[in-house]
């Protein structure tokens, strides 16, 4: 974690001041530290350069831990490994291709990983979907490009948006997710690609962040809000920490779509996957916001994995539907 962040970090639970016991550092980074809240004794850490500011109060459904288990699963099932890794890429279905990419990436073969991701993405998403989603990123990049401030990206996952921002913008970037597993993977490839210099990695739950009030002038997320289960006061928490812009690429489901609706409800995602509900949260939290660059596109579920039987990349949609993609542009300055 880069040191400039120390002055804007506080206890995610009670907002108390933090006491830093740094045991390994370089000129601009902290590699290892134990961190204690001086008010509630909450305990956090920096491990291998990654700040971990998770609390025990919020339940976490960390799907990346399962992806981490894939390598182990293949080791225990050499036949499966052969069927996934040793066959021509184009004989696999899109979900298996995607997970083959994950394995290549975890083994440090970024070129093979990118080839697998690219062919899988082409099969999973229509050209119209790709165009529509890419245009949201273009819009976001254009909005962000007007400022040199550090950018905090929420729910960064595998860094789809972060990769674009690193390519197109000079800003410092804080990559965040509530999954330490995905951040460990991100750190590895960022280093391998020579992209780590401008990046800090922080694990925290977006509903309970470790940032001081008004400490962030640029907050972004790409398909982040739509994945935050049981969001509760999420938009209020984000309003608390931002003094500037929040730019969120989001997608919305039609409210009368029963099959997808059942999965949305079951996953605690209704407040973030339906337009009216999410916008009401923005409004109630005090954001001044606009919906920009909206486009409606047909989305089809990808057929589940065959080699990795039943595996999925996206939990939704489970049934073909029309999604509205857009950029939510919030300000509270």
Ligand X SMILES: C[S@@+](CC[C@H](N)C(=O)[O-])C[C@H]1O[C@@H](n2cnc3c(N)ncnc32)[C@H](O)[C@@H]1O
**Interacting residue ranges for ligand X, rule: CB under 6 A:** 64, 155-161, 177-179, 182, 205-207, 222-224, 227-228
| Closest distance of CB 227 from ligand X, Å | 4
Do 181 and 67 touch, CB atoms closer than 8 A? yes
For ligand X, the closer CB: 116 or 161: 161
Q: For ligand X, which is the closer residue by CB, 3 or 277? A: 277
Pick 82 or 328: Cβ nearer ligand X: 328
Give Cα separations from 20 to 4, 49, 177 (angstroms). 14, 14, 22
Determine how many CB atoms are found less than 10 A away from the CB of residue 43: 12
The distance of closest approach from Cβ of residue 157 to ligand X in the complex, given in angstroms and rounded to an integer, is: 3
Q: Which residues contact 285 (CB under 8 A, 6 or more apart)?
A: 233, 235, 236, 238, 239
Cβ at position 316, least distance to ligand X in Å: 10
Closest distance of CB 93 from ligand X, Å: 20
CB of 209 to ligand X, least distance (A): 9
C-beta separation of 292 from 250 below 8 A:
no
**Nearer to ligand X among residue 29 and residue 121 (C-beta):** 121
Q: How far is the CB of 201 from ligand X (least distance, A)?
A: 13
Least gap, CB of 179 to ligand X (angstroms): 4
How far is residue 2's CA from residue 15's CA, in Å, rounded to a whole number? 20
Could you tell me the sign of the dihedral formed by the alpha carbons of 293, 149, 210, 239, in that order?
A: negative
- Strands of the sheet containing 173-177, edge to edge, are 18-25, 30-37, 43-47, 50-52, 199-203, 173-177, 151-154, 216-222, 242-252, 321-331, 288-299
Which of residues 159 and 219 has its CB atom nearest to ligand X in the complex? 159
Of 33 and 137, which has the nearer Cβ to ligand X? 137
Q: Which residue is nearest to ligand X (CB)?
A: 160
Nearest to ligand X of 103, 228 (CB atom): 228
- Say if residues 7 and 22 touch (Cβ distance below 8 Å): no
């Amino acid at each position: 974690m880069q040191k400039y962040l120390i002055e804007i970090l506080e206890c995610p639970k009670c907002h108390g001041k933090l006491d830093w016991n740094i045991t390994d550092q370089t000129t601009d980074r902290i590699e290892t530290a134990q961190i204690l809240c001086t008010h509630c004794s909450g305990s956090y850490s920096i491990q291998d350069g990654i700040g971990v500011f998770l609390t025990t109060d919020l339940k976490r459904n960390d799907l990346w831990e399962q992806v981490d288990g894939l390598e182990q699963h293949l080791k225990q099932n050499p036949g499966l490994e052969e069927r996934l890794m040793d066959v021509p890429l184009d004989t696999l279905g899109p979900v298996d291709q995607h997970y083959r990419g994950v394995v290549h990436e975890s083994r440090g073969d970024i070129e093979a990983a990118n080839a697998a991701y690219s062919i899988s993405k082409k099969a999973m998403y229509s050209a119209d979907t790709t165009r529509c989603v890419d245009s949201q990123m273009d819009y976001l990049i254009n909005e962000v490009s007007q400022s040199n401030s550090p950018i905090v990206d929420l729910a960064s996952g595998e860094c789809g948006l972060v990769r674009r921002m690193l390519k197109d913008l000079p800003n410092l970037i804080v990559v965040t997710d509530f999954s330490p597993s995905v951040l460990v993977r991100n750190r590895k490839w960022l280093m391998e690609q020579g992209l780590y210099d401008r990046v800090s990695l922080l694990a925290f739950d977006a509903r309970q962040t470790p940032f001081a009030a008004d400490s962030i002038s640029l907050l972004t997320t790409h398909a982040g809000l739509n994945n935050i289960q049981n969001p509760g006061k999420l938009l209020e928490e984000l309003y608390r920490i931002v003094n500037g812009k929040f730019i969120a690429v989001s997608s919305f489901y039609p409210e009368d779509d029963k099959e997808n609706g059942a999965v949305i409800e079951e996953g605690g995602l209704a407040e973030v996957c339906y337009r009216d509900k999410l916008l009401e949260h923005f409004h109630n939290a005090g954001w001044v916001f606009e919906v920009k660059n909206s486009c409606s596109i047909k989305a089809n579920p990808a057929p589940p994995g065959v080699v990795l039987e039943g595996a999925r990349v996206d939990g939704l949609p489970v049934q073909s539907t029309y999604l509205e993609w857009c950029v939510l542009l919030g300000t509270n300055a």
